[in-house]
Amino acid sequence: MSFSLETPLSTALGASTAKTLDRAFGMTTVGELLGHYPRRYADRGELTPIEHLPIGETVTIVAEVLSTHPRMMKNRRGAMLEVVIGDGIGQMSLTFFAKNLGQAEWRAKELRVGRRGIFSGKVSVFNKRVQFAHPDYQLFDDDESAHRQADALQDVPIPIYPATSAMQSWQIAKVIGVVLDQLGDVHDPLSDDLRRREGLLTAREALMSIHRPHRRTDIEPAVRTLRMHEALVLQTALLQQRNLVRSLVATPRAAASGGLLERFDASLPFTLTADQQRVGSEIAADLAASRPMNRLIQGEVGSGKTLVALRAMLQVAESGGQSALIAPTEVLAAQHLRSITKMLGPDVAAELIPTLLTGQMSAPERRRAALRVASGQSLIVIGTHALLSEKTTFADLALVVVDEQHRFGVEQREMLRAKGTAPHAIVLTATPIPRTVAMTVFGDLDTSVIQTMPAGRAGISTFVAPLAEHPEWFQRVWDRSGEEIAQGRQVFVVCAAIDTASDSVEADDAPPPEDVEGRGPRWGVVQLDQLLATHPVLGSVRRAILHGKMPSDEKDAIMRAFARGEVDMLVATTVIEVGVDVPNASTMVVMDADRFGVSQLHQLRGRVGRGGVPGLCLLVTEAEAGTPARERVEAVAATLDGFELAEVDLELRGEGDVLGAAQAGAKSSLRLLRVVKDAGLIAYARDIAAEILRDDPLLTGHPGLRVAIQERVSDEDRAALSKN
């Protein structure tokens, strides 16, 4: 029996193994298993740098047994075996627990001095030495025939796979070997002409070479081929999505002379910035066309994206069309309602009846709101995921606005659009996106950028408080905060955790664990608020705490109180990150700033300096100078340009982390492709995809590419890619 990429793993490997792979990696088919590529390759003689192992991570290394020490435990029943292994540079210990000394000695005989093997476990530190506790291992054979075999295999690389405690690297290699032995024909996404022109392998050859290279030189051609597969499949899928939307017929929504939009613009107490005017013109032209708009609007925090979206809503409302704005949180949705109602003014608001619809509303409130929406009485609807409910219907949904796209997926955007007849769509993001990422993640959207900021902003000064060198600056941070409050201003304090005692971390854009030296956040909201209560000045100011585990109505009440100036200092997690507008807030203190990514620090900083009050951002970190964690924090302090920081973010965080949830998702279609290093390839693949679709929009002449898209780019993949 031969397997195809679509063969279920339960058929290929049996129900038990298939269940383990599904639970560990979300794999269900042979194709998904073979798409789990090695993260690196080891040699049988390789010396792995033990001294650089990331604390807290599950890793696999090649090493040699240096000593074994079985003994009975002193303070508890049973025995233990301590094994010291080395790589020629550093050493670490392996600890095994046994019921009795005999078991420990049996394992010591197996792990005798001089044996080499692959060892895998979670890296921890005990008595100042790096260790694996009860690791898995696979020893290389050491009898005479094995030595001859080893000589023959000396140059054969050992694939090391991303692994979990339930499925180790060599176990993954073993099941992949079973599948490869019976692998039949593989659909090739590349045409013969393209493959020959680029000097690439067939799809089957590439899979064989990446999983079973005979020598190091086999790996690069396989990786190059599979990178092209990923680039072409993804770009073709994105262009298909773009073409699909463009093929639909939308109701033109042109602005009328003397209509709502013109009246609104005349009432504004300020002049639109050049960027707002340019993007507004692009949107106005899109809305007047007979095909649906599908536009991404990038803009710094406070650049006026919401105003631009509101002007689009007004243009749509002139013809009786409804607009739906979906926000990621109740707090942000409620704030959008307040700010939009205020911008409209009482007369226009009475005509459009802006309506809030969220899951936390009482049943009677929700019924009344849903009725206004379904009847068409409300022309501007603002809500959370409740807008996606089957019970939520619209009379004439003409425009969908998605706020902070990285919190939603493509399928959610399309679910909302499905409630209308080919409605227009605007996607807003305050996260500056480098061109290469935008092309990869939002390739189905037209892109507009708002870079200029409205006049009248006092600006923000950012400083790093490096406690590793200057521990006394910790006190100065709070004294400085007290000085701002004494001037009638307000202060945000952000922590990466709710409660460090229970390890409730809420930094959703946190950097890789190895960047923060294996430690958890120093400060949680609970611990910091307790400390501030003892401060001679801040102990008596009006403080409040805010975090994601609080009930929505309580969170909203606290944010409202802070916005009204009834709270002087808000100690919170990143729930305040997106969209919260408090013009009187002058200071942002970020604790454990090295726990956050560059883009998130930039977003947090954007919460202050929004009015005429100068902004101050203090980034408190214990990271040592010269570490990646410290470089991230210092990069944010060095510039206010979010687009410059987005490029810095790509360089500092590494390409594997740029796509966030996409890289974590087991079924993500990007496995080898890197948006920075492979920017040229992505652009080239996009040109090829456009040429293919221009001549063959249904891919009837490219069956391999059509099948590859069906296999590899599901709605979940596109959703993961959108959560950048």
Give pLDDT < 70 ranges for the chain: 43-48, 142-155, 165, 405-410, 434-436, 439-441, 456-458, 502-520, 577-580, 650-670, 675-676, 712-724
CA–CA distance, 324 with 307 (Å, rounded to integer): 15
Chain centre distance of CA 198: 32
| Class of the domain covering 270-289+304-429 | alpha beta
CA–CA distance, 595 with 519 (Å, rounded to integer): 10
CA–CA distance, 175 with 170 (Å, rounded to integer): 9
619-662 pLDDT per residue, tens: 999 988 888 888 889 999 998 877 777 777 766 654 443 333 33
Q: Which residue has the tokens 């069956």?
A: 703
CA–CA distance, 32 with 717 (Å, rounded to integer): 12
Q: Which residue has the tokens 């300096």?
A: 609
CA–CA distance, 521 with 507 (Å, rounded to integer): 10
CA–CA distance, 556 with 558 (Å, rounded to integer): 5
Other CB atoms within 10 Å distance of the CB of residue 483: 13
In this prediction, residue 659 carries a pLDDT of 36
* CATH 2.40.50.140 location in the chain: 44-154
Other CB atoms within 10 Å distance of the CB of residue 52: 10
Residue 208, H or E segment: helix 203-211
* CATH 3.40.50.300 location in the chain: 270-289+304-429, 460-639
- As given in the structure block, the two tokens for residue 285 are 């032209």
User: What's the Cα-to-Cα distance from 86 to each of 57, 286, 518, 709, rounded to whole Å?
Assistant: 19, 64, 22, 45
Other CB atoms within 10 Å distance of the CB of residue 596: 29
CA–CA distance, 537 with 539 (Å, rounded to integer): 5
- Cβ atoms 381, 317 nearer than 8 A: no
CA–CA distance, 490 with 510 (Å, rounded to integer): 26
DSSP 543-602: EEEE-TTS-HHHHHHHHHHHHTT--SEEEE-GGGSSS---TTEEEEEETTGGGS-HHHHH
Nearest Cα residue to 344 out of 316, 318, 378, 311:
311
- As given in the structure block, the two tokens for residue 656 are 């594997």
| Class of the domain covering 460-639 | alpha beta
- As given in the structure block, the two tokens for residue 283 are 């949107």
Chain centre distance of CA 126: 32
Q: Which residue has the tokens 């307790």?
A: 530
**Residue 210, φ and ψ in degrees, nearest 5:** -75, -30
Helical spans, DSSP H, in 252-380: 260-267, 274-288, 305-317, 330-352, 363-375
CA–CA distance, 57 with 63 (Å, rounded to integer): 18
- As given in the structure block, the two tokens for residue 266 are 């005349």
DSSP E strand stretches across 29-152: 40-42, 58-72, 79-86, 91-98, 116-126, 129-133, 136-139
Three-state SS at 532: helix
**Residue 82, φ and ψ in degrees, nearest 5:** -105, 125
Between β-strands 58-72 and 116-126, what pairing exists: parallel, antiparallel or unpaired? antiparallel
**What is the radius of gyration, based on Cα positions, of the chain?**
29
Residue 92, H or E segment: strand 91-98
CA–CA distance, 352 with 376 (Å, rounded to integer): 10
- Cβ atoms 506, 548 nearer than 8 A: yes
**Domain 44-154, what fold?**
OB fold (Dihydrolipoamide Acetyltransferase, E2P) (2.40.50)
